[in-house]
Amino acid sequence: MSTEPPVRIDHDGAALRITFDRPDQLNALTTAMVTRAADAVEAAVTDAGVRVVVLTGAGRAFCAGADLAGRDLEADPDTGTIDAANRLTGLLRAIPKPVLAAVNGPAVGVGCSFALAADLTVARESAYFLLAFANVGLMPDGGSTALVPAAVGRARAARMALLAERVPAPQALDWGLISHVVPDDEFDAEISRLTTKLAEGPTAAYAQTKRALAAASLAQLDGAFAVEREGQSALFGTKDFAEGVAAFRAKRRPEFRGE
Protein backbone atom coordinates (compact mmCIF):
# COMPACT_ATOMS: atom_id res chain seq x y z
CA MET A 1 0.00 0.00 0.00
CA SER A 2 1.40 3.41 -1.00
CA THR A 3 2.38 5.81 1.76
CA GLU A 4 2.55 8.78 -0.60
CA PRO A 5 0.09 11.61 0.11
CA PRO A 6 -2.95 11.34 -2.17
CA VAL A 7 -1.77 13.65 -4.93
CA ARG A 8 -1.30 12.21 -8.42
CA ILE A 9 1.65 13.54 -10.40
CA ASP A 10 1.36 12.65 -14.09
CA HIS A 11 3.53 13.62 -17.05
CA ASP A 12 1.57 13.71 -20.30
CA GLY A 13 3.91 14.85 -23.04
CA ALA A 14 4.94 18.40 -22.18
CA ALA A 15 2.23 18.76 -19.53
CA LEU A 16 2.66 18.12 -15.81
CA ARG A 17 -0.72 17.29 -14.29
CA ILE A 18 -1.12 17.56 -10.51
CA THR A 19 -4.35 16.08 -9.16
CA PHE A 20 -5.58 16.33 -5.57
CA ASP A 21 -6.80 12.76 -5.13
CA ARG A 22 -9.08 12.34 -2.11
CA PRO A 23 -12.43 12.32 -3.92
CA ASP A 24 -14.32 10.77 -0.98
CA GLN A 25 -13.30 13.81 1.13
CA LEU A 26 -13.79 16.27 -1.74
CA ASN A 27 -9.99 16.54 -1.92
CA ALA A 28 -9.65 18.10 1.52
CA LEU A 29 -5.97 18.87 1.95
CA THR A 30 -3.39 17.72 4.45
CA THR A 31 -0.03 19.42 4.88
CA ALA A 32 1.63 16.44 3.21
CA MET A 33 -0.61 16.77 0.16
CA VAL A 34 0.19 20.46 -0.27
CA THR A 35 3.90 19.74 0.19
CA ARG A 36 3.82 17.00 -2.45
CA ALA A 37 2.11 19.30 -4.93
CA ALA A 38 4.61 22.09 -4.19
CA ASP A 39 7.55 19.71 -4.63
CA ALA A 40 6.20 18.73 -8.05
CA VAL A 41 5.87 22.35 -9.15
CA GLU A 42 9.35 23.16 -7.85
CA ALA A 43 10.84 20.22 -9.78
CA ALA A 44 9.07 21.42 -12.93
CA VAL A 45 10.84 24.78 -12.75
CA THR A 46 14.07 23.25 -14.09
CA ASP A 47 12.54 20.35 -16.04
CA ALA A 48 12.89 21.27 -19.71
CA GLY A 49 10.38 18.57 -20.60
CA VAL A 50 7.58 20.38 -18.75
CA ARG A 51 6.08 23.31 -20.64
CA VAL A 52 2.73 23.67 -18.84
CA VAL A 53 1.41 22.73 -15.40
CA VAL A 54 -2.22 21.67 -14.87
CA LEU A 55 -3.70 21.64 -11.36
CA THR A 56 -7.02 19.85 -10.76
CA GLY A 57 -9.00 17.62 -8.43
CA ALA A 58 -10.32 14.07 -8.63
CA GLY A 59 -14.04 13.35 -8.59
CA ARG A 60 -16.64 16.07 -8.19
CA ALA A 61 -14.59 18.73 -6.38
CA PHE A 62 -11.48 20.71 -7.11
CA CYS A 63 -10.65 21.04 -3.41
CA ALA A 64 -12.68 21.45 -0.21
CA GLY A 65 -9.87 23.33 1.55
CA ALA A 66 -7.91 22.17 4.58
CA ASP A 67 -8.88 18.88 6.21
CA LEU A 68 -10.75 19.94 9.35
CA ALA A 69 -12.40 16.58 9.93
CA GLY A 70 -9.30 14.40 9.92
CA ARG A 71 -6.90 16.38 12.10
CA ASP A 72 -6.94 17.76 15.64
CA LEU A 73 -6.30 21.36 14.66
CA GLU A 74 -7.14 22.71 18.10
CA ALA A 75 -4.49 20.56 19.77
CA ASP A 76 -2.01 20.89 16.90
CA PRO A 77 -2.50 24.19 15.06
CA ASP A 78 0.63 23.64 13.00
CA THR A 79 1.78 26.72 11.10
CA GLY A 80 3.51 24.26 8.79
CA THR A 81 0.20 23.99 6.93
CA ILE A 82 0.23 27.73 6.28
CA ASP A 83 3.86 27.61 5.22
CA ALA A 84 3.14 24.76 2.81
CA ALA A 85 0.17 26.62 1.34
CA ASN A 86 2.16 29.82 0.89
CA ARG A 87 4.96 27.85 -0.73
CA LEU A 88 2.60 26.24 -3.26
CA THR A 89 0.91 29.52 -4.15
CA GLY A 90 4.28 31.23 -4.50
CA LEU A 91 5.58 28.50 -6.79
CA LEU A 92 2.47 28.54 -8.98
CA ARG A 93 3.00 32.28 -9.46
CA ALA A 94 6.79 32.17 -9.86
CA ILE A 95 7.32 29.14 -12.10
CA PRO A 96 8.37 30.48 -15.54
CA LYS A 97 5.80 28.27 -17.28
CA PRO A 98 2.05 28.68 -17.66
CA VAL A 99 -0.18 27.19 -14.96
CA LEU A 100 -3.73 26.11 -15.76
CA ALA A 101 -6.20 25.41 -12.95
CA ALA A 102 -8.84 22.96 -14.18
CA VAL A 103 -11.60 23.66 -11.64
CA ASN A 104 -13.83 20.64 -12.03
CA GLY A 105 -16.01 21.43 -9.00
CA PRO A 106 -16.11 23.48 -5.79
CA ALA A 107 -12.89 25.36 -4.95
CA VAL A 108 -13.13 26.13 -1.25
CA GLY A 109 -10.85 27.73 1.34
CA VAL A 110 -7.18 27.33 0.49
CA GLY A 111 -8.30 25.30 -2.53
CA CYS A 112 -9.81 28.52 -3.83
CA SER A 113 -6.49 30.25 -3.21
CA PHE A 114 -4.64 27.65 -5.29
CA ALA A 115 -7.16 27.85 -8.12
CA LEU A 116 -6.79 31.63 -8.29
CA ALA A 117 -2.98 31.44 -8.18
CA ALA A 118 -2.97 29.89 -11.66
CA ASP A 119 -2.38 31.94 -14.79
CA LEU A 120 -5.59 30.65 -16.36
CA THR A 121 -8.42 29.44 -14.14
CA VAL A 122 -10.95 27.41 -16.10
CA ALA A 123 -14.10 26.27 -14.32
CA ARG A 124 -16.99 23.97 -15.04
CA GLU A 125 -20.24 25.91 -15.22
CA SER A 126 -21.47 24.05 -12.13
CA ALA A 127 -18.38 24.87 -10.05
CA TYR A 128 -18.16 27.60 -7.45
CA PHE A 129 -15.54 29.49 -5.45
CA LEU A 130 -15.75 30.04 -1.71
CA LEU A 131 -13.44 31.66 0.83
CA ALA A 132 -14.93 29.68 3.70
CA PHE A 133 -12.40 30.64 6.38
CA ALA A 134 -14.74 32.92 8.36
CA ASN A 135 -17.11 29.98 8.85
CA VAL A 136 -14.56 28.43 11.23
CA GLY A 137 -13.24 31.63 12.79
CA LEU A 138 -10.21 32.02 10.55
CA MET A 139 -8.96 34.48 7.93
CA PRO A 140 -8.16 33.74 4.27
CA ASP A 141 -4.68 32.42 3.59
CA GLY A 142 -2.67 30.85 0.80
CA GLY A 143 -2.15 34.34 -0.62
CA SER A 144 -5.83 34.97 -1.29
CA THR A 145 -5.78 38.33 0.51
CA ALA A 146 -3.61 39.54 -2.38
CA LEU A 147 -4.89 37.35 -5.23
CA VAL A 148 -8.59 38.11 -4.83
CA PRO A 149 -8.50 41.93 -4.56
CA ALA A 150 -6.00 42.03 -7.43
CA ALA A 151 -8.63 40.31 -9.57
CA VAL A 152 -11.96 41.73 -8.36
CA GLY A 153 -11.18 44.77 -6.19
CA ARG A 154 -11.30 45.38 -2.45
CA ALA A 155 -15.09 45.53 -2.07
CA ARG A 156 -15.78 42.16 -3.70
CA ALA A 157 -12.77 40.62 -1.95
CA ALA A 158 -14.17 41.78 1.41
CA ARG A 159 -17.57 40.35 0.48
CA MET A 160 -16.04 36.96 -0.29
CA ALA A 161 -13.82 36.95 2.79
CA LEU A 162 -16.22 38.32 5.40
CA LEU A 163 -19.53 36.83 4.26
CA ALA A 164 -18.14 33.51 3.01
CA GLU A 165 -20.60 33.50 0.12
CA ARG A 166 -20.39 31.05 -2.73
CA VAL A 167 -19.46 32.67 -6.03
CA PRO A 168 -20.82 30.51 -8.87
CA ALA A 169 -18.48 30.06 -11.81
CA PRO A 170 -20.47 32.31 -14.20
CA GLN A 171 -20.47 35.10 -11.59
CA ALA A 172 -16.75 34.56 -10.96
CA LEU A 173 -16.14 35.04 -14.68
CA ASP A 174 -18.29 38.17 -14.75
CA TRP A 175 -16.33 39.59 -11.81
CA GLY A 176 -12.98 38.86 -13.45
CA LEU A 177 -12.02 36.35 -10.78
CA ILE A 178 -11.37 33.57 -13.32
CA SER A 179 -10.55 33.39 -17.03
CA HIS A 180 -12.98 30.79 -18.45
CA VAL A 181 -16.28 29.05 -17.75
CA VAL A 182 -17.10 25.93 -19.75
CA PRO A 183 -20.29 23.84 -19.92
CA ASP A 184 -19.80 20.72 -17.84
CA ASP A 185 -19.98 18.34 -20.80
CA GLU A 186 -17.34 20.33 -22.70
CA PHE A 187 -14.94 20.83 -19.81
CA ASP A 188 -12.50 17.96 -20.39
CA ALA A 189 -12.17 18.76 -24.09
CA GLU A 190 -11.53 22.44 -23.37
CA ILE A 191 -8.89 21.64 -20.75
CA SER A 192 -7.17 19.36 -23.26
CA ARG A 193 -7.29 22.07 -25.93
CA LEU A 194 -5.89 24.77 -23.67
CA THR A 195 -3.19 22.46 -22.29
CA THR A 196 -2.01 21.65 -25.81
CA LYS A 197 -2.10 25.31 -26.87
CA LEU A 198 -0.02 26.39 -23.88
CA ALA A 199 2.43 23.50 -24.24
CA GLU A 200 3.02 24.42 -27.88
CA GLY A 201 3.33 28.13 -27.15
CA PRO A 202 6.35 30.43 -26.68
CA THR A 203 7.47 29.39 -23.21
CA ALA A 204 10.10 32.12 -22.90
CA ALA A 205 7.54 34.77 -23.77
CA TYR A 206 5.08 33.26 -21.30
CA ALA A 207 7.72 33.47 -18.57
CA GLN A 208 8.38 37.16 -19.17
CA THR A 209 4.64 37.86 -19.40
CA LYS A 210 4.04 36.15 -16.06
CA ARG A 211 6.86 38.15 -14.51
CA ALA A 212 5.48 41.46 -15.79
CA LEU A 213 1.90 40.71 -14.76
CA ALA A 214 3.02 39.69 -11.28
CA ALA A 215 5.09 42.87 -10.91
CA ALA A 216 2.11 44.98 -11.96
CA SER A 217 -0.66 43.28 -9.99
CA LEU A 218 0.82 41.05 -7.27
CA ALA A 219 3.75 43.01 -5.89
CA GLN A 220 2.24 42.65 -2.41
CA LEU A 221 1.93 38.84 -2.50
CA ASP A 222 4.96 38.13 -0.29
CA GLY A 223 3.74 40.71 2.20
CA ALA A 224 0.31 39.08 2.19
CA PHE A 225 1.88 35.71 2.98
CA ALA A 226 3.54 37.21 6.05
CA VAL A 227 0.42 39.00 7.28
CA GLU A 228 -1.73 35.92 6.73
CA ARG A 229 0.70 33.71 8.61
CA GLU A 230 0.82 36.09 11.57
CA GLY A 231 -2.93 36.57 11.67
CA GLN A 232 -3.84 32.93 11.17
CA SER A 233 -1.36 31.82 13.84
CA ALA A 234 -3.07 34.15 16.32
CA LEU A 235 -6.53 32.95 15.31
CA PHE A 236 -5.61 29.31 15.90
CA GLY A 237 -5.58 30.10 19.62
CA THR A 238 -9.03 31.69 19.81
CA LYS A 239 -12.22 30.26 21.25
CA ASP A 240 -13.98 31.21 18.02
CA PHE A 241 -11.73 28.87 16.06
CA ALA A 242 -12.39 26.03 18.50
CA GLU A 243 -16.11 26.70 18.17
CA GLY A 244 -15.90 26.91 14.39
CA VAL A 245 -14.18 23.53 14.11
CA ALA A 246 -16.61 21.94 16.59
CA ALA A 247 -19.58 23.31 14.66
CA PHE A 248 -18.13 22.15 11.35
CA ARG A 249 -17.68 18.62 12.64
CA ALA A 250 -21.14 18.57 14.22
CA LYS A 251 -22.68 20.10 11.07
CA ARG A 252 -24.31 22.89 13.04
CA ARG A 253 -24.23 26.68 12.99
CA PRO A 254 -21.31 28.13 14.99
CA GLU A 255 -21.88 30.59 17.85
CA PHE A 256 -19.00 33.04 17.68
CA ARG A 257 -18.26 35.42 20.56
CA GLY A 258 -15.26 37.32 19.27
CA GLU A 259 -12.94 35.62 21.72
**215 phi/psi in degrees, rounded to 5:** -65, -35
86-123 pLDDT, tens per residue? 999 999 999 999 999 999 999 999 999 999 999 999 99
The pLDDT of residue 3:
81
CATH placement of domain 7-181: 3.90.226.10
Higher-confidence residue of 191 and 76: namely 191
The ranges assigned to domains in the chain are 7-181
CB-based contacts of 205-209 (< 8 A; 24+ apart in sequence): 206/96, 206/97, 206/98, 206/119, 207/96, 207/97
* Mean pLDDT, rounded, for 196-202: 98
194 three-class SS: helix
At 125, the pLDDT band (50, 70, 90 cuts) reads very high
**Average pLDDT over the chain, rounded to an integer:** 95
pTM: 0.95
CB 63 within 8 A of CB 108: yes
218-252 pLDDT, tens per residue? 999 999 999 999 999 999 999 999 999 999 999 99
* Mean pLDDT, rounded, for 43-51: 98
d(CA 220, CA 150) in angstroms, rounded, equals 10
d(CA 239, CA 229) in angstroms, rounded, equals 18
At 160, the pLDDT band (50, 70, 90 cuts) reads very high
Q: 108 pairs with which residues across the strands?
A: 130
Percent residues over pLDDT 90 in the chain: 93
